[in-house]
Structure 1
Amino acid sequence: MNRRDAIGRVALLMGGAVIGAEFFISGCKSGAGKVEDLFVADNIAFLNEVADTILPTTTSSPGAKAANVGHFMALMVQDCYWPKNQKTFLEGISKLDDASQKKFSSKFMSLTAQQKTDLLVDLDKEQKEYTKKNANSEMEDSKHRNDPDFKGPTVAPHYFRMMKELTLLGYFTSEIGATKALRYIAVPGHYDGNVPYKKGDKAWAT
């Protein structure tokens, strides 16, 4: 799966444009500053756990942690996000832990698998409401993203929206995601315009 196709699929799943997509496609040269704190081992482990809660291991495929999606998130935030979005993402780690403390009186990493899922379901509802509320600002920003003097979004996106998008993008463009969760045939290969489909078949990575 190429980068443009992956971004298109994530946008379809998320119901809107992918944050940082213009840089993901062009090669991530936004000029964003370094965010060294994201590469601290504890933060990578935290992001891997968030990602693995979103895309856990199943009987047929390994989860997001196996693909080290946490490191992918940190790398993409550092290289492809506007400074305002970088700050929001980094602060989001603490905010997610705060939400965990509020709901379960315990840090996220100490929760049970079900508690982690319940918390992220709540945060997903929160980010959807936040995104809907700020849709007009996002639409206006999209008109000026290619302007040379554009300095980033008027309103920063919700931190969990970024985490969820990067989880999906990182996993389905990883070797594990492409070959285990999706169907993969090495390219080049022969063209078959009439492949039989059975309900429940995996999508193609290639």
Structure 2
Amino acid sequence: MSRRKALEQVAMLLGGAISAPSVAGVLSRATRRAWAASPGWAPRTLTPAQLELVATVAEHLMPQTDTPGARAAGVDRFVDTLLSDHYSAAERDRFLTGLAGVDARTRSAHGQAFAQCAPEQRIALLSEMDARAYASDRGEDGWFFRRMKELTIVGYYTSEIGAMQELHVSPFGAYRGDVPYASLGRAWS
């Protein structure tokens, strides 16, 4: 199956719920290797301040609970890799403009960058952005916030932490052909 055909089928399966760059990134082995935890990794699109902003926003969207959050899962690396490898220049610029808007809002309201604000201030801003993103008026803020949520969710649940610790994905075990029924206890038929 060609990559194009796989993307078409995945998009049809998901009903267009996930953007094409996200699907392409998930299907790309190079993307998985690029953002996996490696000491030599360096951002290619985001500045260190932007990378921290993405990590902070993502951590609020998928916080640490009894399982690690978005920061530990490397969602910031995933976002940088997708922006670098799978987004068009126009989409990348649109995302970066939205990201700058988050910091501009907190600087205007609280006199400091988003990452330096108190958690309550961050949550208030994100709640406001969330409400506007899904209102009838879907402006640039809405596009950015919906895309940020999408990238956070896809990045988190396709990471090892998201898949193995949060979703508890358990790959099939070894094949054991002839097993006495008594050793199974129960069986589905």
Name the TM-score, length of structure 1 as normaliser: 0.63
Matches within 5 A, 1:55-94: 55-58=62-65, 60-94=66-100
Q: Number of paired residues?
A: 156
Which ranges of structure 2 fall in alignment gaps of 5 or more residues? 1-5, 31-42, 176-186
Equivalent residue, structure 2, for 1:53: 60
* Aligned-residue RMSD, C-alpha: 3.5
1:18 aligns with 2:18: yes
In structure 2, what residue type is equivalent to 1:51?
A
Mapped partners of 2:23, 2:59: distance in 1: 26
Which ranges of structure 1 fall in alignment gaps of 5 or more residues? 30-34, 135-154, 195-206
Native 8 Å contact 2:133 2:141 kept in 1: no
Equivalent residue, structure 2, for 1:159: 144
Native 8 Å contact 1:28 1:80 kept in 2: no
1:25–1:108 Cα change, 3 Å: closer
1:181–1:87 Cα change, 3 Å: same
1:188–1:88 Cα change, 3 Å: farther
Mapped partners of 2:107, 2:44: distance in 1: 26
Name the TM-score, length of structure 2 as normaliser: 0.68
Native 8 Å contact 2:129 2:142 kept in 1: no
Larger Rg: 2
Q: CA deviation at 1:36?
A: 3.8
Native 8 Å contact 1:18 1:165 kept in 2: yes
Percent of counterpart pairs with the same letter?
Answer: 27
Equivalent residue, structure 1, for 2:33: none
Mapped partners of 1:28, 1:103: distance in 2: 42
